[in-house]
Structure 1
Amino acid sequence: MPEIAEALIETKLSAVRSWYLAVRDRYPSALVPDWRVGDAEDGAPLLTVQVIGEHAQEALHHFASIYHLTLDDAGDLRPVFEYRPGRVVCVWRSNGVWVELWHPDLPSVPAPSPALMPRRRPLSPSGRLPLGQRLTNIRRQYANKEN
Protein backbone atom coordinates (compact mmCIF):
# COMPACT_ATOMS: atom_id res chain seq x y z
CA MET A 1 0.00 0.00 0.00
CA PRO A 2 2.73 2.56 0.76
CA GLU A 3 4.08 1.99 -2.76
CA ILE A 4 0.69 2.81 -4.28
CA ALA A 5 0.31 5.94 -2.13
CA GLU A 6 3.78 7.11 -3.17
CA ALA A 7 3.04 6.42 -6.84
CA LEU A 8 -0.25 8.36 -6.59
CA ILE A 9 1.41 11.37 -4.95
CA GLU A 10 4.36 11.39 -7.33
CA THR A 11 2.14 10.98 -10.40
CA LYS A 12 -0.30 13.70 -9.29
CA LEU A 13 2.51 16.17 -8.55
CA SER A 14 4.10 15.44 -11.91
CA ALA A 15 0.78 15.86 -13.75
CA VAL A 16 -0.10 19.11 -11.96
CA ARG A 17 3.35 20.56 -12.55
CA SER A 18 3.28 19.57 -16.22
CA TRP A 19 -0.27 20.94 -16.63
CA TYR A 20 0.54 24.38 -15.30
CA LEU A 21 3.85 24.59 -17.18
CA ALA A 22 2.06 23.70 -20.42
CA VAL A 23 -0.92 26.03 -20.12
CA ARG A 24 0.18 28.94 -17.92
CA ASP A 25 1.02 31.30 -20.80
CA ARG A 26 -1.76 30.43 -23.24
CA TYR A 27 -4.65 29.33 -21.03
CA PRO A 28 -4.02 30.62 -17.50
CA SER A 29 -7.67 30.31 -16.46
CA ALA A 30 -7.86 26.56 -17.29
CA LEU A 31 -7.50 24.79 -13.95
CA VAL A 32 -7.30 21.21 -12.61
CA PRO A 33 -8.33 21.70 -8.96
CA ASP A 34 -10.47 18.74 -7.90
CA TRP A 35 -8.46 15.52 -8.23
CA ARG A 36 -10.17 12.26 -7.37
CA VAL A 37 -8.67 8.86 -6.68
CA GLY A 38 -10.27 5.62 -7.78
CA ASP A 39 -9.62 2.31 -9.48
CA ALA A 40 -9.30 1.84 -13.22
CA GLU A 41 -11.00 -1.03 -15.05
CA ASP A 42 -7.80 -3.08 -14.83
CA GLY A 43 -7.60 -2.56 -11.05
CA ALA A 44 -4.73 -0.07 -11.18
CA PRO A 45 -4.99 3.20 -9.27
CA LEU A 46 -6.67 6.06 -11.14
CA LEU A 47 -6.34 9.83 -10.79
CA THR A 48 -9.03 11.83 -12.54
CA VAL A 49 -9.78 15.55 -12.77
CA GLN A 50 -12.09 17.77 -14.78
CA VAL A 51 -10.40 20.67 -16.54
CA ILE A 52 -12.41 23.78 -15.70
CA GLY A 53 -12.27 27.43 -16.65
CA GLU A 54 -12.22 29.40 -19.83
CA HIS A 55 -10.88 27.51 -22.87
CA ALA A 56 -10.74 24.17 -21.03
CA GLN A 57 -11.12 22.24 -24.28
CA GLU A 58 -8.32 24.09 -26.05
CA ALA A 59 -6.07 23.87 -23.00
CA LEU A 60 -6.44 20.10 -22.77
CA HIS A 61 -5.63 19.64 -26.44
CA HIS A 62 -2.62 21.94 -26.11
CA PHE A 63 -1.41 20.08 -23.01
CA ALA A 64 -1.68 16.68 -24.71
CA SER A 65 0.22 17.90 -27.76
CA ILE A 66 3.24 19.17 -25.82
CA TYR A 67 3.20 17.05 -22.65
CA HIS A 68 6.66 15.62 -21.96
CA LEU A 69 6.31 12.20 -20.39
CA THR A 70 9.22 10.13 -19.27
CA LEU A 71 8.35 6.47 -19.63
CA ASP A 72 10.17 4.77 -16.78
CA ASP A 73 7.96 1.73 -16.15
CA ALA A 74 7.27 -0.99 -18.67
CA GLY A 75 3.51 -0.33 -18.39
CA ASP A 76 3.69 3.44 -18.97
CA LEU A 77 1.67 4.78 -21.90
CA ARG A 78 1.72 8.12 -23.72
CA PRO A 79 -1.35 10.40 -23.56
CA VAL A 80 -4.23 9.57 -25.91
CA PHE A 81 -7.70 11.03 -26.34
CA GLU A 82 -10.81 8.99 -25.75
CA TYR A 83 -14.36 10.05 -26.43
CA ARG A 84 -16.80 8.79 -23.83
CA PRO A 85 -20.47 9.67 -23.45
CA GLY A 86 -20.55 13.30 -22.40
CA ARG A 87 -16.80 13.86 -22.07
CA VAL A 88 -13.48 14.03 -23.88
CA VAL A 89 -10.68 12.39 -21.91
CA CYS A 90 -6.91 12.65 -22.18
CA VAL A 91 -5.59 9.50 -20.52
CA TRP A 92 -2.12 8.09 -19.92
CA ARG A 93 -0.35 5.75 -17.54
CA SER A 94 2.67 6.71 -15.47
CA ASN A 95 4.29 4.86 -12.55
CA GLY A 96 1.53 2.27 -12.74
CA VAL A 97 -1.15 4.95 -12.20
CA TRP A 98 -3.79 5.87 -14.78
CA VAL A 99 -4.31 9.62 -15.14
CA GLU A 100 -7.40 11.18 -16.74
CA LEU A 101 -7.86 14.85 -17.51
CA TRP A 102 -11.22 15.57 -19.09
CA HIS A 103 -13.69 18.22 -20.13
CA PRO A 104 -17.38 17.92 -21.00
CA ASP A 105 -18.06 17.13 -24.65
CA LEU A 106 -19.96 20.21 -25.70
CA PRO A 107 -20.98 20.88 -29.27
CA SER A 108 -18.91 23.79 -30.54
CA VAL A 109 -21.50 24.86 -33.10
CA PRO A 110 -25.24 24.69 -32.52
CA ALA A 111 -27.02 22.23 -34.76
CA PRO A 112 -28.68 23.94 -37.71
CA SER A 113 -32.42 24.14 -37.63
CA PRO A 114 -34.43 23.16 -40.70
CA ALA A 115 -35.40 26.00 -42.99
CA LEU A 116 -39.02 26.97 -42.78
CA MET A 117 -40.93 27.44 -45.99
CA PRO A 118 -43.10 30.55 -46.08
CA ARG A 119 -46.80 29.84 -46.07
CA ARG A 120 -48.54 30.73 -49.29
CA ARG A 121 -51.86 32.35 -49.28
CA PRO A 122 -54.14 30.90 -51.94
CA LEU A 123 -55.44 34.31 -52.97
CA SER A 124 -53.97 37.78 -52.84
CA PRO A 125 -55.87 40.54 -51.01
CA SER A 126 -57.41 41.53 -54.34
CA GLY A 127 -58.88 38.06 -54.75
CA ARG A 128 -56.52 37.09 -57.56
CA LEU A 129 -54.13 34.15 -57.45
CA PRO A 130 -50.48 34.95 -56.81
CA LEU A 131 -48.48 35.56 -59.98
CA GLY A 132 -46.81 32.15 -60.03
CA GLN A 133 -50.11 30.32 -59.78
CA ARG A 134 -51.76 32.64 -62.35
CA LEU A 135 -49.01 31.95 -64.86
CA THR A 136 -49.33 28.22 -64.27
CA ASN A 137 -53.09 28.40 -64.79
CA ILE A 138 -52.69 30.49 -67.95
CA ARG A 139 -50.13 28.00 -69.35
CA ARG A 140 -52.50 25.12 -68.61
CA GLN A 141 -55.37 26.89 -70.37
CA TYR A 142 -53.28 27.44 -73.49
CA ALA A 143 -51.98 23.87 -73.38
CA ASN A 144 -55.56 22.57 -73.14
CA LYS A 145 -56.67 24.77 -76.08
CA GLU A 146 -53.84 23.48 -78.26
CA ASN A 147 -54.79 19.85 -77.56
Structure 2
Amino acid sequence: MLELADALIETKLSAVRSWYLAVRDRYPSALVPDWRVGDAEDGAPLLTVQVIGEHAQEALHHFASAYPLVLGRSGDLRPVFEYRPGRVVCVWRTNGVWIEMWHHDLPAVPAPTPALMPPRRQSSPSGRLPLSRRRTIRRQHATKEN
Protein backbone atom coordinates (compact mmCIF):
# COMPACT_ATOMS: atom_id res chain seq x y z
CA MET A 1 0.00 0.00 0.00
CA LEU A 2 2.90 2.34 0.74
CA GLU A 3 4.23 1.85 -2.80
CA LEU A 4 0.89 2.96 -4.26
CA ALA A 5 0.82 6.07 -2.06
CA ASP A 6 4.41 6.88 -3.05
CA ALA A 7 3.58 6.39 -6.75
CA LEU A 8 0.56 8.73 -6.44
CA ILE A 9 2.60 11.42 -4.67
CA GLU A 10 5.47 11.16 -7.15
CA THR A 11 3.12 11.19 -10.15
CA LYS A 12 1.14 14.17 -8.84
CA LEU A 13 4.29 16.19 -8.12
CA SER A 14 5.64 15.39 -11.57
CA ALA A 15 2.36 16.39 -13.25
CA VAL A 16 2.13 19.65 -11.29
CA ARG A 17 5.75 20.50 -12.08
CA SER A 18 5.23 19.72 -15.77
CA TRP A 19 2.03 21.77 -15.86
CA TYR A 20 3.52 24.92 -14.41
CA LEU A 21 6.68 24.66 -16.52
CA ALA A 22 4.54 24.36 -19.64
CA VAL A 23 2.09 27.20 -18.97
CA ARG A 24 3.90 29.67 -16.72
CA ASP A 25 4.95 32.04 -19.52
CA ARG A 26 1.87 31.91 -21.75
CA TYR A 27 -0.99 31.18 -19.37
CA PRO A 28 0.11 32.03 -15.82
CA SER A 29 -3.44 32.31 -14.48
CA ALA A 30 -4.42 28.75 -15.51
CA LEU A 31 -4.19 26.73 -12.30
CA VAL A 32 -4.56 23.07 -11.20
CA PRO A 33 -5.22 23.40 -7.45
CA ASP A 34 -7.72 20.74 -6.43
CA TRP A 35 -6.41 17.22 -7.14
CA ARG A 36 -8.60 14.22 -6.39
CA VAL A 37 -7.67 10.55 -6.13
CA GLY A 38 -9.88 7.76 -7.46
CA ASP A 39 -9.89 4.59 -9.49
CA ALA A 40 -9.90 4.41 -13.27
CA GLU A 41 -12.15 2.02 -15.19
CA ASP A 42 -9.33 -0.52 -15.41
CA GLY A 43 -8.80 -0.42 -11.64
CA ALA A 44 -5.57 1.59 -11.79
CA PRO A 45 -5.21 4.66 -9.58
CA LEU A 46 -6.49 7.93 -11.05
CA LEU A 47 -5.51 11.53 -10.34
CA THR A 48 -7.95 14.11 -11.67
CA VAL A 49 -7.93 17.90 -11.56
CA GLN A 50 -9.96 20.70 -13.09
CA VAL A 51 -7.96 23.39 -14.87
CA ILE A 52 -9.31 26.73 -13.68
CA GLY A 53 -8.58 30.36 -14.39
CA GLU A 54 -8.34 32.54 -17.42
CA HIS A 55 -7.48 30.70 -20.66
CA ALA A 56 -7.92 27.23 -19.10
CA GLN A 57 -8.92 25.76 -22.46
CA GLU A 58 -5.93 27.17 -24.32
CA ALA A 59 -3.52 26.24 -21.52
CA LEU A 60 -4.64 22.60 -21.49
CA HIS A 61 -4.36 22.35 -25.26
CA HIS A 62 -0.88 23.88 -25.17
CA PHE A 63 0.20 21.56 -22.37
CA ALA A 64 -0.97 18.41 -24.14
CA SER A 65 0.29 19.29 -27.61
CA ALA A 66 3.47 21.27 -27.06
CA TYR A 67 5.02 20.21 -23.77
CA PRO A 68 7.24 17.09 -23.85
CA LEU A 69 6.22 14.84 -20.95
CA VAL A 70 8.79 12.26 -19.89
CA LEU A 71 7.16 8.86 -20.31
CA GLY A 72 9.81 6.20 -19.91
CA ARG A 73 8.12 3.23 -18.29
CA SER A 74 6.34 0.31 -19.83
CA GLY A 75 2.62 1.08 -20.00
CA ASP A 76 3.04 4.86 -20.12
CA LEU A 77 0.75 6.56 -22.64
CA ARG A 78 0.96 10.00 -24.28
CA PRO A 79 -1.76 12.58 -23.54
CA VAL A 80 -4.94 12.39 -25.59
CA PHE A 81 -8.12 14.46 -25.52
CA GLU A 82 -11.51 12.99 -24.75
CA TYR A 83 -14.82 14.79 -24.99
CA ARG A 84 -17.31 13.89 -22.29
CA PRO A 85 -20.64 15.56 -21.58
CA GLY A 86 -19.80 19.02 -20.27
CA ARG A 87 -16.01 18.57 -20.20
CA VAL A 88 -12.90 18.30 -22.30
CA VAL A 89 -10.41 15.91 -20.71
CA CYS A 90 -6.70 15.43 -21.35
CA VAL A 91 -5.76 11.97 -20.10
CA TRP A 92 -2.49 10.06 -20.01
CA ARG A 93 -0.84 7.28 -18.05
CA THR A 94 2.51 7.39 -16.32
CA ASN A 95 4.06 5.39 -13.50
CA GLY A 96 1.00 3.11 -13.50
CA VAL A 97 -1.29 6.06 -12.66
CA TRP A 98 -3.91 7.64 -14.91
CA ILE A 99 -3.96 11.44 -14.90
CA GLU A 100 -6.92 13.51 -16.05
CA MET A 101 -6.76 17.28 -16.44
CA TRP A 102 -10.02 18.79 -17.62
CA HIS A 103 -11.93 21.99 -18.16
CA HIS A 104 -15.61 22.66 -18.72
CA ASP A 105 -16.69 22.40 -22.32
CA LEU A 106 -17.35 26.02 -23.17
CA PRO A 107 -20.41 26.75 -25.28
CA ALA A 108 -19.72 28.00 -28.76
CA VAL A 109 -19.95 31.75 -29.08
CA PRO A 110 -22.78 32.58 -31.47
CA ALA A 111 -21.76 34.26 -34.68
CA PRO A 112 -22.41 37.99 -34.71
CA THR A 113 -25.54 39.04 -36.51
CA PRO A 114 -25.72 42.14 -38.67
CA ALA A 115 -27.34 45.18 -37.11
CA LEU A 116 -30.90 45.72 -38.18
CA MET A 117 -31.93 49.03 -39.64
CA PRO A 118 -34.50 50.85 -37.52
CA PRO A 119 -37.91 51.07 -39.17
CA ARG A 120 -38.52 54.21 -41.19
CA ARG A 121 -40.84 56.78 -39.80
CA GLN A 122 -44.06 56.96 -41.67
CA SER A 123 -46.13 60.12 -41.60
CA SER A 124 -49.16 59.04 -43.57
CA PRO A 125 -51.62 56.25 -42.80
CA SER A 126 -51.07 54.78 -46.26
CA GLY A 127 -47.43 54.10 -45.51
CA ARG A 128 -46.08 56.42 -48.21
CA LEU A 129 -43.04 58.42 -47.38
CA PRO A 130 -43.58 62.17 -47.06
CA LEU A 131 -42.49 64.37 -49.93
CA SER A 132 -39.35 66.31 -49.38
CA ARG A 133 -39.60 70.03 -48.77
CA ARG A 134 -37.71 70.77 -51.99
CA ARG A 135 -40.32 69.09 -54.18
CA THR A 136 -43.12 70.88 -52.38
CA ILE A 137 -41.48 74.25 -53.03
CA ARG A 138 -40.91 73.43 -56.71
CA ARG A 139 -44.56 72.47 -57.14
CA GLN A 140 -45.68 75.73 -55.58
CA HIS A 141 -43.49 77.72 -58.02
CA ALA A 142 -44.67 75.67 -60.96
CA THR A 143 -48.34 76.42 -60.25
CA LYS A 144 -47.69 80.15 -59.78
CA GLU A 145 -46.03 80.51 -63.16
CA ASN A 146 -48.93 78.96 -65.04
Common fold: TM-score over 0.5: yes
1:49 maps to: 49
Q: Percent identity?
A: 83
How far 1:39 sits from its partner (Å)?
Answer: 0.1
1:140 maps to: none
Q: List runs of 5+ in structure 1 lacking aligned partners.
A: 117-123, 131-147
Question: C-alpha root-mean-square deviation of aligned residues, in Å?
Answer: 2.6
> Residues 10-25 of structure 1: matches in 2 within 5 Å?
10-25=10-25
SS in 1 for 2:75: coil
2:79 maps to: 79
2:60 maps to: 60
Between 74-83 and 63-72, report the one with greater CA deviation.
63-72
Could you give the per-residue CA deviations for residues 3-59 of structure 1, whole angstroms, max 9, x where no partner exists? 111110111000000000000011000000000000000000000000000000000
Q: Please give the alpha-carbon distance, in whole angstroms, between the structure 2 residues aligned to 1:45 and 1:9.
A: 11
1:142 maps to: none
Q: Please give the alpha-carbon distance, in whole angstroms, between the structure 2 residues aligned to 1:81 and 1:37.
A: 20
> Residues 130-141 of structure 1: matches in 2 within 5 Å?
none
SS in 2 for 1:92: strand
Scaled by the length of structure 2, the TM-score of the pair is 0.76
How far 1:73 sits from its partner (Å)?
Answer: 2.2
> Residues 114-129 of structure 1: matches in 2 within 5 Å?
128=126
Matched residue type, 1:3: E
Which has the larger Rg?
Answer: 2
SS in 2 for 1:28: coil
Q: Please give the alpha-carbon distance, in whole angstroms, between the structure 2 residues aligned to 1:25 and 1:84.
A: 29
